[in-house]
Chains A and B, each alone.
Chain A
Amino acid sequence: MGRPEPVFENSNPIRLSWREWALTAVICLGLLYLLPLLGPAAGTKWSGRDYRLPGELSSDYWMFREWSGQARDRCPAVVIGDSVVWGQYVKSEETLSHRLNELAGDEVFANLGVDGLHPAAMEGIVEYYGGAIRGEPVLVHLNPLWMSSAKQDLQAKGEARFNHPKLVPQVFHRPASYAPTAAEVIDAVLERQVSFLSWKEHTKIAYLEGMGWQDWTMENPYRLFPTDRGPDFFSGENPGSEPANWRARGIAPENLPWVEAPRSYQWQSFQTVVRLLRSRGNSVFVVLGPFNTHALTGESRERYEALVAVMEQWLEREGVPHYAPRLLSTDRYADVSHPLGDGYREVAKDLVDSPSFQAWMRSWSNGTGRLPGR
């Protein structure tokens, strides 16, 4: 007792030489590379037309990356956006991409909508997880709701809770609402760069009820591994919320303050998204709205229209084809920004009939200006 011991007179003999450490590093790196490949058989998850990622997996970016790769192989074009594209109040066969495909008579547009994907998060998902759609035609939806207040625009200090914090810029040009710890920044940056880590997050979200394995075994003490969630879980067929008209849901017209475009963080992020996509060779088309201005007070509506006008001017200046669908009738909306099933049908119809959309289509569909198969 008390005699200083040599460093390895220990309770265990695990001591590796340099060569053994090198071998260990190779084995571990190999395992970390292979595990995501041996993991859940992703390809079996997205069978069927009008596939969309289930709402429960909206922060599963590994799944988004996998699905965008599948979507590229399956469809000539993709639609990116938030829950308006995803179809919060509608089934997967009633979404914007479905309606466009319906008009095309073929599966042309894949739904890459993600719930809560505000422009700052869109910038992150496109940059770090959207590599598979490089060079593809992309229809980008902009939901102006993200500019409706300082909070939505991520400019309200102290408002730390918002969707997809891991996707927003972590170091430079960070939104004012975001105050991460150093560990959170490192985690987010590593997760973007190391496929294994985003796959690990995927297993948590998709198989462990959003918990880590340790917490999951606390909830399920007599099980070691989760069982497969089954194809229904991954189908994404069902809406995220019950479809109902906004008035029936008790939403009253609001006086949304709106952030002016030049000062809007989200608008700047959206501009970055468009530039990024174009720098990657994507043919970009922007859809602005259709926002439910029935649910705005007169004053708020004026500010909104001024905002949209500035956005359209920028898109015009940059030569980005775009379209702002007309205001739908009030019964076509589920809330301030989400159309109901018939609303999507009307938007798709207007879009297909619009000259800018047709011109955009001509630019990548063999110059026919028609949706393939139409």
Chain B
Amino acid sequence: MLFHSWQFAVFGVAVYLVYLLLSRTRFALHWLLAASLFFYGWTGPRFVLLLLYATAVNFAAGAMMERSPRRKLWLTAAVGGTLAPLLFFKYAGFAVESLNAVLPRLGLATSLAAPAVLLPAGLSFFTFRLLGYTIDCYRGDIERERSFLRFATFASFFPTLLAGPIERASHFLRQVASGPRRPNGSDLADGLSLFVVGLFKKVALADYLSLYVSKVYAAPGSFDGLTLAAATFAFAWQIYFDFSGYTDMARGIAKALGFDIMLNFRNPYLATGLGDFWNRWHISLSSWFKDYLYIPLGGNRKGAFATYRNMLVTMVISGLWHGAAWTFVIWGLLHALGRFATRELERTPFYRNRVPTFAKQMLVFCFVCFCWIFFKASSLSDSLLIVKRIFGAGLGDPRFPLAMLILCLAVWAYQFLVESRLRRVAEWAPARVAAVCYMIVHILLVSGGSSQPFVYLQF
């Protein structure tokens, strides 16, 4: 059930109205949990069992770690038990394919059959959300949740269930500790504001850009260098609008229900370094990796070599989290290299003080675009073909829609404005009202009718 579908409109309004009625009763969370399970069951009823399994494992682990002295054992069991479905559903096929590629080289003529399984929607997201809770309990950063109802609501909260943000247990459970807060008119107004911006990003921008990107990336060998570069530029914006649009809608729905959900994007294409980029892009995931992988590996406390090794491991695993393919590994690897490079550059006074911020931003943006090639291309050979053609296949007419370019540049300019001293112009009430009016009319007037799924739902 996509946020920008009629089915969700009906579901959302019904859930909201009943929740308002129940919000002063002890049944509010029951309702929210039931709605969330129904929402998840819509994608595939069997997957609800998987969600409940992961929820039960981590809830039990929290309880056992409190009672048992063998805390590490329970942590290991919970991490293993939670990761097992993710490894099976997401990576078994990739492992088998990789083995099948390697086995003939070792003189073995066997070919293993890849398991034909469908990746349950949101699996990567709720797995990380639950693991974060269990690790926090183990470290003693949070107290274990005693109510299964509250815990299951945290695990399955429908606005963030399918594609995040990967909300932290400490943040969410605090909001339901003494019963959820009754949403008020201001929550609804704020929620609507977030939702409309997200909807605009998705249907007016991301889906529009995808028309160009899909056409070019479907047959990269048929296009010249400039067209492939334009499609890569378009994909950079498509995936940003798609994912941040989803996040805005998720946060808007949660806000309307009276919940604050963590920020996930902060104008990532204005980053001045790769480290800065990851502080702005998919913040809930990058901070998760930082807190639960990079720092436990030693972070930057054990010298330069260990720091870069830890960064490399974190970024490669982050790449694999996105998809079970070598292209994602390379994508993670490239980002790690980018982080090394910009980190070293930022240590030099010349780069730090003399290179204009705008030049740094453009450098980072171009590098991120280059990395997106490996993220988007359907195979490693396609990725390499695209790179080769961008740098050597000449400059033809890219037939890049002028309207697309104007929209992307307008949003970019707006983001520069928001992060500048002129931010007040964007905050001026008539400007805000005009912007929302434009977005609504644009959505109604010129957006396509089809509901394309969110890119990040596949992860």
Chain B interfacial residues counted at CB < 8 A: 65
Contact (Cβ within 8 A) A18 B435: no
Q: State whether the Cβ of A38 lies closer than 8 Å to any Cβ in chain B.
A: no
Q: State whether the Cβ of A252 lies closer than 8 Å to any Cβ in chain B.
A: no
Chain B residues touching A, majority SS? helix
Which residues from chain A contact B193 at a C-beta distance below 8 Å? 14-16, 21
Q: State whether the Cβ of A171 lies closer than 8 Å to any Cβ in chain B.
A: no
Which residues from chain A contact B440 at a C-beta distance below 8 Å? 24, 28
Contact (Cβ within 8 A) A13 B211: no
A115–chain B nearest beta-carbon distance, Å: 23
Asked, given contacts A32-B441, A218-B212, whether A12 binds B414 with beta carbons under 8 Å apart, the answer is: yes
Which residues from chain B contact A14 at a C-beta distance below 8 Å? 193, 197, 426, 432, 435-436
Q: State whether the Cβ of B283 lies closer than 8 Å to any Cβ in chain A.
A: yes
Contact (Cβ within 8 A) A7 B266: no
Residues of A192-222 contacting chain B, CB below 8 A? 196, 200, 212-215, 217-218, 221-222
Which residues from chain A contact B212 at a C-beta distance below 8 Å? 218
Chain A interfacial residues counted at CB < 8 A: 42
Asked, given contacts A15-B432, A24-B440, A200-B445, whether A5 binds B402 with beta carbons under 8 Å apart, the answer is: no
Interface pick from B54-62, B121-129, B183-191? B183-191
Contact (Cβ within 8 A) B437 A214: no
Which residues from chain B contact A224 at a C-beta distance below 8 Å? 402-403, 406
Mask of B238-265 contacts with A, CB within 8 angstroms, 1/0: 0000001000100100010000111101
Q: State whether the Cβ of A353 lies closer than 8 Å to any Cβ in chain B.
A: no
Q: Which of B190, B287, B436, B448 contacts A8 (CB 8 A)?
A: B190
Contact (Cβ within 8 A) A222 B402: yes
Contact (Cβ within 8 A) A28 B445: no
Which residues from chain A contact B448 at a C-beta distance below 8 Å? 212, 214-215
Q: State whether the Cβ of A248 lies closer than 8 Å to any Cβ in chain B.
A: no
Contact (Cβ within 8 A) B267 A11: yes
CA distance A2 to B263 in the complex (A): 9
Which residues from chain B contact A12 at a C-beta distance below 8 Å? 197, 414-415, 418, 426
CA distance A312 to B5 in the complex (A): 47
Q: Which of A17, A32, A222 contacts B189 (CB 8 A)?
A: A17
Which residue on chain A has the smallest CB distance to residue B189?
Answer: A18
Contact (Cβ within 8 A) A182 B7: yes
CA distance A224 to B449 in the complex (A): 19
Contact (Cβ within 8 A) A2 B291: yes
Asked, given contacts A1-B279, A221-B402, whether A7 binds B190 with beta carbons under 8 Å apart, the answer is: yes
Which residues from chain B contact A18 at a C-beta distance below 8 Å? 185-186, 189
Contact (Cβ within 8 A) A217 B436: no
Contact (Cβ within 8 A) B6 A24: no
Q: State whether the Cβ of B31 lies closer than 8 Å to any Cβ in chain A.
A: no
Q: State whether the Cβ of B303 lies closer than 8 Å to any Cβ in chain A.
A: no
CA distance A24 to B189 in the complex (A): 12
Asked, given contacts A15-B193, A20-B429, whether A212 binds B402 with beta carbons under 8 Å apart, the answer is: no
Contact (Cβ within 8 A) B437 A13: no
Q: State whether the Cβ of A223 lies closer than 8 Å to any Cβ in chain B.
A: yes
Contact (Cβ within 8 A) B426 A13: yes
CA distance A200 to B445 in the complex (A): 7
Which residue on chain A has the smallest CB distance to residue B244?
Answer: A11
Mask of B390-433 contacts with A, CB within 8 angstroms, 1/0: 00000000011111101000000011001000010011010011
Contact (Cβ within 8 A) B189 A16: yes
Q: State whether the Cβ of A10 lies closer than 8 Å to any Cβ in chain B.
A: yes
Contact (Cβ within 8 A) A16 B441: no
Asked, given contacts A18-B189, A20-B433, whether A9 binds B263 with beta carbons under 8 Å apart, the answer is: yes
CA distance A157 to B208 in the complex (A): 35
Q: State whether the Cβ of B13 lies closer than 8 Å to any Cβ in chain A.
A: no
Contact (Cβ within 8 A) A186 B402: no
Task: List, sorted by A's number, 6 A–B pairs whose CB atoms are closer than 8 Å.
Answer: A2-B287, A10-B248, A20-B436, A196-B444, A218-B215, A221-B402
Binding site for A on B (CB under 8 A): 5-7, 168, 170-171, 185-186, 189-190, 192-194, 197, 207-208, 211-212, 215, 244, 248, 251, 255, 260-263, 265-267, 279, 283, 286-288, 290-291, 399-404, 406, 414-415, 418, 423, 426-427, 429, 432-433, 435-437, 440-441, 444-449, 451
